[in-house]
């Protein structure tokens, strides 16, 4: 879960805009509706941005089911209900993505879409940057091709 990737802030702070043991990123974002908006915005950008053309090409069409699975994954990863795990078991993200060649270019296209989605959907600068760093770490972990 992403909560482990965030640095826990000062509990005495009266304005928390970062995850704490009491508030997950899922809660700070606004729960299910906000997480679903982020997942959908990510795929909206992927479908329309020329910068993500190769990334889009490796996804099954239409994107309806992948949008839903991404939302379900994000729900649990961000500290909310483990919807993906309930349906499919442990995400095993790297193993699930091994059939696809994920190199630096694919990682960068994925992050392009996520960066744009975060900029649009996450209003709180500190939370947005913490999420960006966590997503970048996840995207780096998914690479399965050597640097050329």
Residue 32 is predicted with a pLDDT of 98
Using one digit for the tens of pLDDT, what is the confidence trace for 20-44? 667 999 999 999 999 999 999 999 9
CA atoms of 79 and 22, how far apart (whole Å) = 11
Place of tokens 């349906």: 87
Residue 65 · residue 145 · CB < 8 Å = no
Residue 125 is predicted with a pLDDT of 96
**CB under 8 Å to 50, separation ≥6 — which residues?**
none
pLDDT band at 11 (very low <50, low <70, confident <90, very high): very low
Residue 3 is predicted with a pLDDT of 44
Using one digit for the tens of pLDDT, what is the confidence trace for 82-138? 999 999 999 999 899 989 999 999 999 999 999 999 999 999 999 999 999 999 999
For the chain, state the CA radius of gyration.
Answer: 15
């Amino acid at each position: 879960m992403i909560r482990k990737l965030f640095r826990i802030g000062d509990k005495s702070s009266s304005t928390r805009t970062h995850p704490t043991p009491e508030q997950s990123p899922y809660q700070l974002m606004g729960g299910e509706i906000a997480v679903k908006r982020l997942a959908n915005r990510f795929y909206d950008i992927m479908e329309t941005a020329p910068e993500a053309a190769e990334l889009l090409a490796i996804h099954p069409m239409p994107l309806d089911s992948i949008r839903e699975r991404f939302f379900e994954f994000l729900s649990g990863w961000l500290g909310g209900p483990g919807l993906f795990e309930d349906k499919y078991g442990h995400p095993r993200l790297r193993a699930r993505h091994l059939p696809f060649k994920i190199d630096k270019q694919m990682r960068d296209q994925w992050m392009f879409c996520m960066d744009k989605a975060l900029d649009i959907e996450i209003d709180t600068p500190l939370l947005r940057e913490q999420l960006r760093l966590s997503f970048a770490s996840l995207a780096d972990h998914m690479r399965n091709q050597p640097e050329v």
